[in-house]
Amino acid sequence: MLADLLAKQSTLHHVLTISFLLLIFCVFLRYRSARCRLANPNGLPYPPGPKGLPIVGNLFDLARSNDTNIYESLAKEYGELVFLSAFGKSVLVLNSSEAANELFDKRSANYSDRAQSVMSNELMGWDFSFGHMRYGEQWKKHRRVFHQQFQQSVAQTYWPIQRREAHALLRRLLDSPENLDYHLRLNAAAVIMSITYGITIALSGDRYIRLAEKALEGMGAAARPGAFLVDFVPFCNDWVPGASFKRKAKEWRVAVTGMKEAPFATVLNNMKEGRAAPSFVCNLLNDLQTKENVEDQIQTIKNCAGLTYAGMFTVSTLASFILAIVLHPEVQSRAQEELDCVVGRDRLPDFSDRPSLPYISAIVKEVLRWNPVAPFGLPHMSTNDDEFRGYFIPGGTIVVGNSRCILNDPLRYPEPRRFNPDRFMAEADRNSNQHLSPGDPLSVAFGYGRRFCPGRYAGEAQVWISIACILSVFDIGHALDDEGRPIPVVPAFTTGMICHPMPFKFSMKPRGENARLLIQQTELCA
């Protein structure tokens, strides 16, 4: 009887606790609603969007999976602005380059902040990343350090490393093209680790790669608005012990910490022993201003170095390139004609050939457009209340650029799902500079406004040299079944922060014996 009484008391306690929390939450929503009315004295409407439910709002309209298709459908229904609200927090999705340019660029002072995700920052440990930081002095300090080593003029110093690893990728593809995904991940990691830390990675089972991939898995899972309820109802972090999101966050936090700390410690040890290779970290540590705040400077360098793993986007970009070539053999034929005319077949293309290879550069641009790696990127946040096109945007609104929708706008890019590098050739004829300019509408593939990817020049260069080298020595096409018939390929992509092609069959063979010898000879120069 005593046990039953205690059990009833415990149950009553839980009911009262939950009721109390719900009461507090309802009061909070009433307060937030009243604050929004005061901040919006003209009574302007919110941007268009689906009608929400009481209390939870648009919680069930926020995509937790298949987000690309869900937000594309919302864009078709509501237009270039889609407004969602859940538990009193607002999300605005921008579906046109005009709206994105107006808010992220022209009004960048108000749209460069980041929402502080409980899941990403507090639980997973991404608070060190200036990509996740609030817009302010701390962010500016980190951005300056990163820009110092990755601005366009400095990015050229990394070309020898990128060329070396592009050649290594050719050798691996020659030996086992069926392991494409592994080879691309190894290629990206080798470039990043060499540039950032001067570390040569292991060809299999590398611990740095394992840590980075696990950490980036968590970042991608938490990036989409509404993926984890704790970001909309922060107090559930305190009163939901043992929840699944906490178990996931704990695993990811171990990887995030290891990704940041382990390679940095290796560089420090190598520097003490006098055998550190030149690198992003080594260069900055050697240039330390030792008069003041040394520990703070070291922490900033470590934080910036840890963010270079975002360069793993090249894996998805190059996989999308292979898929596009399988589906469009005419693109490969034209590219190889250009390469044979400019470079010949007795050497591999180099960065010095880039001005003379406009079609290869057009392919790079079309790959970035056709399947943007980060269809939504890391969301921005409005700092203050704002009015835009007669609509009210509350301060603290999470603002997302729908890059997938923007780069598939049929008015700007006719037949957007067709892979067609020709759409960029007229631009190439007008401008001998084959790089993306910050004002180019295609630059949204690297982010928006003041928060665009600062490593874009190095990343774009790696994609260019890899594509040029692959096309110069390989013929890519459909794989054949047992009866010699081409295996059909239907393009399909994952969803989430990083959009990667789903597995597909393909054939990759050297363009003759001379091409095979060219690939094999690269090992002598490695």
Question: Residues comprising the binding site for heme?
Answer: 453
Q: What number of helices (H) and strands (E) belong to the chain?
A: 19, 8
Q: Where are the beta strands (DSSP E) in 286-379?
A: none
Q: Are 316 and 501 in contact (CB under 8 A)?
A: yes
Q: Which of 336, 319, 284, 282 is nearest to 468 (CA)?
A: 336
Q: Is 382 left (phi over 0), alpha (psi -120 to 50) or beta?
A: beta
CA 475/CA 472 separation, integer angstroms? 9
Taking the chain, what is the end-to-end CA distance rounded to the nearest angstrom? 79
* Diameter over CA atoms, the chain: 92
Helices (H), 81-158: 97-100, 137-150, 152-155
Q: Are 49 and 82 in contact (CB under 8 A)?
A: yes
The residue written with tokens 């922490």 in the block is 299
Q: Which of 54, 93, 101 is nearest to 73 (CA)?
A: 93
Residues at the annotated binding site?
A: 453
Q: Which of 430, 410, 349 is nearest to 159 (CA)?
A: 349
Q: Is 129 left (phi over 0), alpha (psi -120 to 50) or beta?
A: beta
